[in-house]
Amino acid sequence: MKVLNIIFFIITTVNCLYAKNLPVKEIFTEEVWRGEILVEGVVAVRKEGKLTIEPGTVILFKSIDIDDDGIGDSELYVEGTIIAKGSKDAPIVFTSESNDKIPSSWKYIMVNHAKYAYFEHVLFEGAFSGLQVHFTKAIVKNSIFRNNVDGFRFSTANIYVCNNKMTKNRHGIRYEERDSKGIIEFNSIQENEIGIFPVTKCGDKVNFRYNNIEKNGYNIKVGDEQKENLSFKNNYFGMIFESEIRKKIYDKHFDKNLPIVNIKPYSKKPFLESDVKCLEEF
Amino acid sequence: MRYLFFLIFYAFLVQDLYSHEVKGRVVFKENTPVFGANVNIYNENRDTKILSTTTDPEGYFNINLEEGVYFFEATYVEKNRRFVGYSGKNPLLVSGSEYIGIRLLPLYKFKEQKVKNNKTKVIGQVLFEDKPLKDSIVYFYLSGRDIKGMPYVYSMPTNKKGFFEINDILPGKYFIVARKKISGSLFGPIEEGDFIGFFQHNPINLEKGKVYSIVIPVFKKVQDDVPIQVSAKYKITGYAIDEKGNPVSGVYAFAYKNKEMGHERPISISKKTKKDGYFELPIPESGKYYIGVRQFYGGTPLQGELYGLYEQTYDHHIYVDKNIENIKITVRKILR
């Protein structure tokens, strides 16, 4: 009987949890965020909506986990337009409401089938994915991704990603290239468990160049389902000798079923701030 | 005894975990279902039969296969005339649930004749509905798996009488396939309107000093093979429209159970819309479904592809507990 009671309790509890609905706020017109914004549940920028975020704005995502999957449920979901342009002195911050800022405290900023996305001088921290971009043209510059499971993640997108810092994430950049096009340059991808994680369906339509990819558990780790060889030419991997660089690139050299990551020519010295030249137009 | 029971239970469990449902239908050229056709599943080189089943009165069959590459064939005898058909997807990697369509065609014999010059030659004719098909290409592959890759050799386009010939081919075992692509391209996936036919005696062993006379009947791909729910409890009907509100033809509506659409196969897919943009989406049972429309079936949506999602809810879901009628989904080109 005691067992039955426990089972009944579990079933009732689970049902209650799933019976709850996340609060959803939808943006259908133009909206500007400034100061401190609390996101509890979902904020959805709909197709016709445009969200502009002013420099210095702090967006706090409430740590709620209704489905109990260990990932915070609060998110910003964009199918319209988002312009988040901070400044060097007044960056925009997307972070957890809680003090510890641990990865997965909140879900993500998901830009999916959106009209346009622009992020500059933005800090993304404590999320499951700091920023995900799919089926959208997006520019991401001068920003920091830290303490997330995935810092920056994309698939089938037109992207320009320049002079960002991805650090202390499980994956600095995680991607399935599929039908993407773009350039990822002058980024510092350091101290992540895995610097760059090409999961599957990756090729050479997104050009990774002039990045400092170093001091990660693996600087590049190829996913089990990736079939094509990959090109990561003209990047700096923290070492001078290829044999040393190879120790931090998990590809065919570690597992014969994986493709090869081509790295030559590679830079023998790091790219400096003075080297950075982000494109004005993309 | 307890271990034996456990092992048997485990064996069934593992078998269940690693088998995939393959549904399909066998039809004649007019799309009339074939009851009692034998459906034979071979290994990818079609030299070992894995299993057989028969079709039900509506022409459907349903089997479970472990992950692997298979070659699907159907045979049937009617009034002493033999028919055979092959899936256009052959050889197919089964790694999830699949839908197979097979169209039966009359069985043609082939002839072989010795010649003095010790050379090997293949002369043949490509037929569509028993008439010669001009401008089709006949491809010779070294193995079943190669059929979706590069051929060893291929013919010039067939002439007005559907004839082709390959002179002085190296003796050996070949898989022969005829195709005519409307786009005019030599390679690439078969699309609606293209013609495809498998030589009915694949693989053939071509011997030195012999001339082979063969016939390859082809069929026209009328629509992508899509899974259609045959026992749907509800349906969602609606229209695909462009941003000006005009109907959009040539797109499929789809329903997923998962919010992250594309991470799994859809539960249901409609037939392609026609000029009026109308679609019917069969829904198997009540629940929450995520709804959209896209131009191509299978794979990740591509740049430039027509695509749209149900817009009345932010996450594109509809809760279905009755028939839902006349929804509208606006389609746009991805990243354009």
Query: In angstroms, rounded to a whole number, what is the distance separating the alpha carbons of residues B207 and A177?
Result: 47
The per-residue pLDDT for A13 is 36
B-interface mutation test, from A18, A71, A156, most B Cβ less than 10 A away: A156
Tell me the Cα Rg of chain B: 23
Is B309 in Cβ contact with A135 (below 8 Å)?
A: no
Q: Which of B177, B181, B18, B24 is nearest to B101 (CA)?
A: B24
Please state the length of chain A: 282
Is A156 in Cβ contact with B334 (below 8 Å)?
A: yes
The per-residue pLDDT for B223 is 59
B84, B135: one domain: no
Domain contains A12: no
Domain contains B198: yes
B29, B101: one domain: yes
Report B:294-333 residues touching A (Cβ under 8 A): 300-303, 307, 309, 311, 314-315
Domain contains A231: no
Domain contains B15: no
User: How confident is the model over B305-329, as a mean pLDDT?
Assistant: 96
Question: Among B220, B251, B273, which residue terminates a domain?
Answer: B220
User: How confident is the model over B241-251, as a mean pLDDT?
Assistant: 95
Query: In angstroms, rounded to a whole number, what is the distance separating the alpha carbons of residues A134 and A190?
Result: 24
Q: Which residue segment(s) compose the domain that A37 sits in?
A: 24-169
Residues of B in contact with A179 (CB under 8 A): 300-303
Is B303 in Cβ contact with A201 (below 8 Å)?
A: no
Neighbours of B250 (CB within 10 A): 14
B211, B186: one domain: yes
Domain contains A127: yes
Residues 6 or more apart from A10 whose CB is under 8 A from it?
Answer: none
B119, B83: one domain: no
Question: Among B67, B86, B106, which residue terminates a domain?
Answer: B106
Enter the ipTM. Answer: 0.86
B243 beta partners: none
Q: Which residue segment(s) compose the domain that B67 sits in?
A: 24-106
Neighbours of A59 (CB within 10 A): 22
B333 beta partners: B306
* DSSP, res B207: P
Is B303 in Cβ contact with A46 (below 8 Å)?
A: no
User: How confident is the model over B184-207, as a mean pLDDT?
Assistant: 85
Domain contains B7: no
B216, B115: one domain: yes
Total structural domains within chain B: 3
The per-residue pLDDT for B264 is 66
The per-residue pLDDT for B160 is 94
Domain contains B195: yes
Residue A265 has pLDDT above 50, yes or no: yes
A-interface mutation test, from B258, B303, B309, B312, most A Cβ less than 10 A away: B303
Q: pLDDT band for A282, please (50, 70, 90 cuts).
A: confident
Q: pLDDT band for B302, please (50, 70, 90 cuts).
A: confident
Residue where the block lists tokens 């037109």: A158
**From A44, A113, A156, residue closest to B309, measured CB to CB:** A113
The per-residue pLDDT for B238 is 97
Closest CA in chain A for residue B260: A112
Partner B contacted by A96 (CB < 8 A): no
Q: Which of A114, A133, A130 is nearest to A122 (CA)?
A: A130
Region of poorest pLDDT, from A7-11, A117-121, A274-278, B192-196: A7-11
Residues of B in contact with A115 (CB under 8 A): none
Domain contains B14: no
The chain-wide mean pLDDT, for chain B, equals 86
Domain contains A94: yes
Domain contains A212: no
What Å distances lie between residue A135 and A26, A112, A282, B333, CA to CA? 20, 6, 16, 10
Is B335 in Cβ contact with A158 (below 8 Å)?
A: yes
Domain contains B305: yes
Which of B72-84 are b and which e, b meaning 16 or more Cβ less than 10 Å from the residue's Cβ?
A: bbbbbeeeeeebb
B-interface mutation test, from A75, A179, A200, most B Cβ less than 10 A away: A179
B100, B116: one domain: no
Q: pLDDT band for B263, please (50, 70, 90 cuts).
A: low
Partner B contacted by A178 (CB < 8 A): yes
Contact in structure between A179 and A201 (CB atoms under 8 Å):
no
B202, B287: one domain: no
pLDDT in tens, A21-63: 899 999 999 999 999 999 999 999 999 999 999 999 999 999 9
Domain contains B10: no
Query: In angstroms, rounded to a whole number, what is the distance separating the alpha carbons of residues B153 and B150?
Result: 9
Partner A contacted by B335 (CB < 8 A): yes
Report A:132-151 residues touching B (Cβ under 8 A): 135-137
Region of poorest pLDDT, from A3-17, A130-144, B16-30, B181-195: A3-17
Domain contains A262: no
Partner B contacted by A110 (CB < 8 A): no
Region at A248 (left for phi over 0; alpha for psi -120 to 50; beta for the rest): alpha
Residue B230 has pLDDT above 60, yes or no: no
User: How confident is the model over A122-131, as a mean pLDDT?
Assistant: 98
Residues of B in contact with A176 (CB under 8 A): 300
Rounded to the nearest 5 percent, the helix, strand and coil shares of chain A are 10, 45, 50
Name the minimum distance, in Å, from the CA of A180 to any CA of chain B: 8
Is A42 in Cβ contact with B311 (below 8 Å)?
A: no
Closest CA in chain B for residue A42: B314
The per-residue pLDDT for A15 is 36
Q: What is the CATH number of the domain that holds B91?
A: 2.60.40.10
Count of CB contacts below 8 A, A vs B? Answer: 37
Residues of A in contact with B315 (CB under 8 A): 44, 77
The per-residue pLDDT for B253 is 94
Query: In angstroms, rounded to a whole number, what is the distance separating the alpha carbons of residues B331 and B272?
Result: 14
What are the tokens at A114? Answer: 């959106």
Q: Is the dihedral of CA A259, A265, A268, A272 positive or negative?
A: negative
Domain contains B19: no
**From B300, B301, B314, residue closest to A46, measured CB to CB:** B314
The per-residue pLDDT for B117 is 85
Q: pLDDT band for A81, please (50, 70, 90 cuts).
A: very high
User: How confident is the model over B153-167, as a mean pLDDT?
Assistant: 93
B115, B207: one domain: yes
Total structural domains within chain A: 1
User: How confident is the model over B316-330, as a mean pLDDT?
Assistant: 96
The per-residue pLDDT for B128 is 93
pLDDT in tens, B108-130: 999 999 998 888 999 999 999 88
Partner A contacted by B334 (CB < 8 A): yes
User: How confident is the model over B44-68, as a mean pLDDT?
Assistant: 87
Residue B94 has pLDDT above 50, yes or no: yes
Residue B16 has pLDDT above 70, yes or no: no
User: How confident is the model over B216-236, as a mean pLDDT?
Assistant: 72
B191, B209: one domain: yes
Question: Among B193, B220, B247, which residue terminates a domain?
Answer: B220
Residues of A in contact with B309 (CB under 8 A): 113
